[in-house]
Structure 1
Amino acid sequence: MATTDTSKPRTPNHGKNLKRFREMLGLKQEALADKLGEGRSQRKLSYLEGKETIEASEIEELAKALNLPAEAILNFDEEKAVYNIQNNYDHTTNPTHGLNYNATFNPLDKFVEAVQKNDELVAETKRLYEDLLKAEREKNALLERLLNDKSK
């Protein structure tokens, strides 16, 4: 489990954050440069992604092109995000989450119900089998009688 070191404040790396968000959005440097318009190139973006700090006006422009708030690029800290996810993910907060399914019935009752239904099906099958045997015996008796009548 990751822990965060709160003893020394870390300054976010704007260039790395820009790159992370660009990649998360599935954009190549060329595509982002096209979104930014004239005077922007893949090379310029590569340079910006290598910088630790980027000017606020530049961040605003980049954030707008990425459709993000500027604060995301300015303040994103991957370590804190991972820590947050690992330590604050709670299945109970999302009522539609499949892992938090609370049955509104007693599973044992359903099992007993299924066993009883199975017993009923077995009894019905036995009854049908007995009826079939009875019909076969009657058919055999009739055939024997017909044969005896014919041989006389």
Structure 2
Amino acid sequence: MTIDNTTSRKIHQGRNIKRFREILGIKQEALAYDMGVSQSSISDYESKEILDDKVLEKIAGFLKVPTEAIKNFDEEQAVNIIANTYSFQDFKDNAVASGFNYQPSFNPVDKMVELYERMLQQQKEMIDKLEKLIEKK
């Protein structure tokens, strides 16, 4: 059982799989198809608090996220860290963060375009898989 050292909250690996899957816009059926398992197997995995390391690695590979991210992600803790780290003041003046000068070394628009292109590629792959599945039937 994975336990966070700072809060003694249990990490629910199945729920984390569901969160990452939903963030990436992947349906249970699509993940099941990629993994060669049934949709109900994915549902079962997402309901389990702890998963076998081999299953977890396989799912993480298909989702293209690190296994450790699934094992250790605690949404409540992440929200608390963000809330306690940044004190936003004066939203009228462009919501400047107090004591926080953010100057990225990359162009945020380029990152958005990159993310959009990745999403389009994943959508194309999903459509190709669905077409192959339909052809088999």
- When normalised by structure 1's length, the TM-score is 0.54
Aligned residues: 89
How is 1:2-151 mapped onto 2 (pairs within 5 angstroms)? 6=6, 9-36=8-35, 38=36, 40-89=37-86, 91=97, 92-95=100-103
Percentage of identical aligned residues = 45
- Structure 2 unmatched runs, 5+: 1-5, 88-96, 105-137
1:40-76 per-position Cα deviation (integer Å, ceiling 9, x unaligned): 1111000111111111111000000000000011111
1:116-140 per-position Cα deviation (integer Å, ceiling 9, x unaligned): xxxxxxxxxxxxxxxxxxxxxxxxx
SS in 1 for 2:54: helix
Find the aligned partners of 1:89 and 1:75 in 2 and give their Cα distance: 22
SS in 2 for 1:93: coil
RMSD after superposition: 1.9
- When normalised by structure 2's length, the TM-score is 0.59
CA distance 1:30–1:86, change in 2 (3 Å) = same
Partner of residue 93, structure 2: none
- Structure 1 unmatched runs, 5+: 1-5, 97-152
